[in-house]
Structure 1
Amino acid sequence: MEKKEKLDYKKEYKDLYLPKKKPMLIDVPEMLFIQVSGEGDPNTSKSYEQAMEILYGLSFTIKMSKMSGRQPEGYFEYVVPPLEGLWETDEGGFDGTHITDKSRFRWISMIRQPEFVTEEVFEWAKKELSKKKPEIDFSTTRFVAYTEGLCAQVMHVGPYDEEPATIELLENFILQEGYQNDIGDGRLHHEIYLGDPRRTKPENLRTVLRHPVKKE
């Protein structure tokens, strides 16, 4: 019997995850996410460390549910999608000028979930993870259907601290195309992390940078 290939969202939806270094417009559809919110410098914040533990813990609990015969209805083989983040500062907004003042960050970290995941599956995964790690606090964790809508995006290659130059490139493109930045009212600066900073040299890190836009 032929083995069915795992769905890799990065490869299947290259327009969402693998843009070029030249900015582009994209209409981002509804997707399912597990999200954890917090604030502070992600390099030193305990809450960010806990967010990573929750996101990966829940994502892999759902992925490996097949091993215990508890896989949800409609389950299929897949690769856990990459970590993503929505960012703003304590003043609201995110134009790139505050990107080095990380103590002022407010963030929503998230991982996309397959289409078969429901609120019921999410609650089951939390209970399963709690059995292994009863100290986990899920108070800022939620399961959401998130529609981002019309955006401009670009691939940033290099250290995270060098993102402001790429953000400026993105913002110039938005204006040149007759649009304007629409960050605010729940629409936020968005990053998708395609490399592991623990294993990848900073100069080789790839990060999708995405800004919501509207017609000028």
Structure 2
Amino acid sequence: MAGAFDFKKEYRDLYLPKAKPALVDIPAMSFVAVVGEGNPNEENGAYAEALALQYAVSYTIKMAKMGPWQPEGYFDYVVPPLEGLWWTAAGGFDGRNILEKDKLNWVSLIRLPEFVTPDVFAWALEQVAAKKPELDAGRARFLTFAEGPCAQILHKGPYDDEPATVAELEAFIAANVLADDIADPKNAAALLDALDADGGVPPVRLHHEIYLGDPRRTKPENLRTVIRHPVRSA
């Protein structure tokens, strides 16, 4: 019997890059997204609440296999890794000023399989609202967009050590006669509307991280994070 579909293994170029910078063209995909601001390390803070909501939605969809109804085209899968788009109100955030965590704004993302439509997503939100009323299901948003041309690198080690890896990525971008295509969103609501590009490349693209380890269970030196920057011709 075939195992559950694992996005990380099937799309290694997107989720398991080498520790050297590379160019990649990111196709369209859908996400459960929650937007917020503040220190992601704050215990029981907005970021922790966002993650609880996202995983509740993701596992509700995954575990539809155990219920009386499954979405059309359903297949069993491993819930993809957590991702995040990051910026600050001051603008110009590229990951090198990551230590100013209280100033961070974020869109937390978890990829959804292709069979998830807006109707399936709405069904999942109804299930979460009924089973976990302590979560604000209304904060979750279904987004579909393509990130397009990007440069990315695998960072190994603590999150606070990311600036050195970002600097290596930036040097690679410049050496390829490219420039960051990071845009400063006017506000969170406008950002979500801009990101919902119906499969196209949105007008606002940001510093992007994909978390391949759980910091609650992994030693800081063993953490792995994909760092991705959208690029354009210089």
Is the TM-score greater than 0.5?
yes
Deviations 1:6-27 (A, max 9, x none): 2100000000001111100000
State whether structure 2 residue 12 is matched by structure 1 residue 14: yes
The corresponding residue for 2:217 is 199
Offset, 1:132: 1.5
Question: Which ranges of structure 1 fall in alignment gaps of 5 or more residues?
Answer: none
**Which letter does structure 2 place at the counterpart of 1:160?**
Y
Matches within 5 A, 1:201-216: 201-216=219-234
Matches within 5 A, 1:102-113: 102-113=101-112
Deviations 1:108-167 (A, max 9, x none): 001000000011111111111111111322343210112100000000000000000000
The corresponding residue for 2:38 is 40
| Cα distance in structure 1, aligned partners of 2:145 and 2:111 | 10
| Cα distance in structure 2, aligned partners of 1:97 and 1:56 | 28
| Cα distance in structure 2, aligned partners of 1:178 and 1:93 | 20
| Cα distance in structure 1, aligned partners of 2:126 and 2:135 | 11
TM-score normalised to the size of structure 1?
Answer: 0.96
With 86-95 and 22-31 compared, the bigger mean Cα shift is at 86-95
Contact kept? 2:36, 2:106, Cα under 8 Å: yes
| Cα distance in structure 1, aligned partners of 2:204 and 2:102 | 21
Deviations 1:38-92 (A, max 9, x none): 0000001611111011110000000001111221010011111000000001212
| Cα distance in structure 2, aligned partners of 1:84 and 1:186 | 17
Question: Which ranges of structure 2 fall in alignment gaps of 5 or more residues?
Answer: 184-202
The corresponding residue for 1:71 is 70
Contact kept? 1:90, 1:104, Cα under 8 Å: yes
| Cα distance in structure 1, aligned partners of 2:11 and 2:162 | 24
Offset, 1:96: 2.9
| Cα distance in structure 2, aligned partners of 1:150 and 1:12 | 20
The corresponding residue for 1:28 is 26
Residue 108 of structure 1: SS of its match in structure 2? strand
Residue 75 of structure 1: SS of its match in structure 2? coil
TM-score normalised to the size of structure 2?
Answer: 0.89
With 181-190 and 87-96 compared, the bigger mean Cα shift is at 87-96
Matches within 5 A, 1:133-152: 133-152=132-151
| Cα distance in structure 2, aligned partners of 1:92 and 1:71 | 43
The verdict on how the C-alpha distance between 1:90 and 1:139 changes in structure 2, with shifts beyond 3 A counting, is farther
Q: How many residues align?
A: 214
The corresponding residue for 2:83 is 84
